[in-house]
Amino acid sequence: MAGTTTALDQLLARIDDEDPFYYRLEDVRALQLQAADERFQQLRQQMPVLDQRSQDTGTERISGLADMLPLFFSDATYKSYPESLVEQRNWKALGSWVEATSAGANIAQVDVEGVQDIDEWLARLRDAGQYLYVSSGTSGRVSLFHASAKDRERDLAMFRLAWRWATGAVPDQSRPVFALFPVKGSHRMMDSFGRIARDFGRPDAIYYLSDQPLRVTDVNSLGRLRKAIGAGTATPSEIDAFEQKSAEKQVEMQQSLERLADAVVRHRNEPCLFIGTWGPEYRLVKTAVDRGLASGVHPDSVILAGGGLKGIVLPPDFKEQLQQALRLDNSRYLLLYGMAELSTIMPACSQRRYHIAPWMIPIVLDKDSERILEPKDGRLTGRLGFFDLALEGRWGALISGDHGTVDLKPCPCGCPGPSILDTIVRYLDLPGGDDRVNCAGTIDAYVRGALGSAVA
């Protein structure tokens, strides 16, 4: 394996191993650092924003974890585009922003003549082979980030790997699939999950939550209205119209769930595949039970669940309820942890721990992201961050908003590689964090939240 191949290539080649998660950290650490430096040197040539950061912090080389710290981005980077560029349809400027925050994107040359909104813009770019993903943007503002062709390919490979590793399921286009997301959209989930759905799904039995594409414009319009309310320029009737539209969407969503639930009941004796996040899956399963799903689904069915709840309120025992209704063995669940802006996902083992691939470097920081924490008894607890070495279309070192524990010791499942305990929470949801009283505030506090929950 040695010779002329780079450290990066060596690590990434492991995706084809029988069990890429089966490794000892000390065996790969040197390789990881070397690969990190290779990726860094490669991308700083292409990403002005990364180059700027390395100059500002005087980082020229990565030879240890400490060197990486100043180079970590947060999702704020991918949300840093001015909203006004979208409002004013300044696609050229938005394209320049994307090019500065990504690598290998070639946007300036794409003809965007006549593009009316951001969804059209994204479609136009896609037609020209330039993939930009968006995040779901709970707060009404979406992240925008670039994925190279290679990134997209790896994304799919990663999901196939996770399915095989966690459940043994292989993509043979044989199963009814319940895909709890819209059929189209610029969200990474729609792209990667969509391909998974087609990979595993019997072509005549793939059910999507919606046939309408998920539009960034809708998400953005929420943000824009909030802004207008804050500025005092929104009229009561505009607020009313928006709220009514949201209510209609809720109704559509419910009808859609019922349609899917009936299909679940129909296919209950075939091995199916469920793919989505916790919130919609819970609602689907509850609806299916109400509509006659009495004794679970076929025992060979598999289910992918994950993602935060994004402010959706579910009963505390929703996972148990879901399990009771589906009656699937633990081994039929593919539980995932990952960040939307990164490519490498972390599947959970039988012990409900999320395993980290060798081409992904975890770091654990203090709450304020200023210090790298030292392990205690082989464990690290604090703010999670990852350097995903697989990414080449953007910078893969990202700090999350999550609090969690990384165990560097072997996992009880038998795998010696590092894993993350099933105790991950968003800092936002941690108790006590918000009990400080302070008289400083933002206009956001003055916009009453009747406008929440408007995104899919």
Partner 1 sequence: MSSLTGTVVGKVIKVPHIVHGKAVFGDAVEHRSRVGDLFLTPKLDLDALVRPRSEPGPAFEVPLREILDLLGETGRRLNLDTNPHLAEALDLISASSRHSRRVVENTYRVIGQTFEPGALGYQVERELGPGVIDGWVPVYKPNAPSCQVRAFPPRLVHIMAGNGPPAASISIIRGALTKGINLLKLPSNDLFTATAILRTMADIAPDHPTVRSFSAAYWRGGDEAVERLIYRPQYFDKLVAWGGEATIRHALKYVGPGFELVQFDPKVSMSMIGREAFCDAETLERVAGLAAEDVNMMNQEGCASSRHQFVEGDVKEVDRYCAALARQLAVDRFWGDGKIWKTPADIRDTVEGLRFTGTHAVFGHYDGRGLVVRSNEPVDFHPIAKTVNVIPVASLRDAVRYASVATQTVGIYPRERKAEVRDALANAGVQRVVTLGSAIGLATTGQGLPHDGFLPLQRLMRWVSDEESE
Q: How far is the CB of 242 from partner 1 (least distance, A)?
A: 10
Q: What is the distance, to the nearest Å, from the Cα of residue 139 to the centroid of all Cα atoms in its chain?
A: 15
DSSP 302-364: EEEEES--TT----TTHHHHHHHHHT--GGGEEEEE--TT-S--EEB-TTS-EE--TTEEEEE
CA–CA dist 379, 418 (Å, integer): 10
- Residue closer to partner 1 by CB (options 234, 372) is 234
Nearest Cα residue to 312 out of 337, 354, 281, 352: 281
Query: Which sign, positive or negative, has the C-alpha torsion 146, 150, 153, 154?
Result: negative
Q: How far is the CB of 228 from partner 1 (least distance, A)?
A: 9
Q: How far is the CB of 167 from partner 1 (least distance, A)?
A: 46
Quick one: DSSP state of residue 18? S
- Confirm if 208 and 183 have CB atoms less than 8 A apart: yes
- Residue closer to partner 1 by CB (options 76, 440) is 440
- Residue closer to partner 1 by CB (options 84, 237) is 237
Q: Per this entry, what is the length of the chain?
A: 456
Quick one: DSSP state of residue 409? S
Which element (helix H / strand E) includes 210?
A: strand 201-210
Phi-psi region of 342 (alpha: psi -120 to 50; beta: other; left: phi over 0): beta
- Residue closer to partner 1 by CB (options 149, 231) is 231
Nearest Cα residue to 105 out of 149, 51, 155: 149
Q: How far is the CB of 447 from partner 1 (least distance, A)?
A: 8
**Structure tokens given for 69:** 């710290």
- Residue closer to partner 1 by CB (options 240, 320) is 240
Q: How far is the CB of 229 from partner 1 (least distance, A)?
A: 6
Question: In 3-state terms, what secondary structure has residue 11?
Answer: helix
Q: How far is the CB of 243 from partner 1 (least distance, A)?
A: 8
> Hey, what amino acid is at 414?
G
Q: What is the distance, to the nearest Å, from the Cα of residue 135 to the centroid of all Cα atoms in its chain?
A: 7
- Residue closer to partner 1 by CB (options 109, 237) is 237
Point out which residues bind partner 1 (CB under 8 A): 229-237, 239-240, 441, 445-446, 448, 450
**Structure tokens given for 127:** 């037609």
- Residue closer to partner 1 by CB (options 377, 435) is 435
Q: Please, which residues bridge with residue 133 across strands?
A: 145
Q: Is 236 exposed, middle or buried (0-12, 13-18, 19+ CB in 10 A)?
A: exposed
Q: What is the 3-state secondary structure (H, E, C) of 86-117?
A: HHCCCHHHHHHHHHHCCCCCCCCCCCCCCCCC
Q: How far is the CB of 233 from partner 1 (least distance, A)?
A: 7
Q: How far is the CB of 5 from partner 1 (least distance, A)?
A: 59
Q: How far is the CB of 76 from partner 1 (least distance, A)?
A: 24
Residue 86: how many CA atoms within 13 Å on its side-chain side?
24
- Residue closer to partner 1 by CB (options 431, 441) is 441
- Residue closer to partner 1 by CB (options 66, 231) is 231
Quick one: DSSP state of residue 375? P
Q: How far is the CB of 247 from partner 1 (least distance, A)?
A: 12
Q: How far is the CB of 443 from partner 1 (least distance, A)?
A: 9
- Residue closer to partner 1 by CB (options 6, 221) is 221
- Residue closer to partner 1 by CB (options 183, 234) is 234
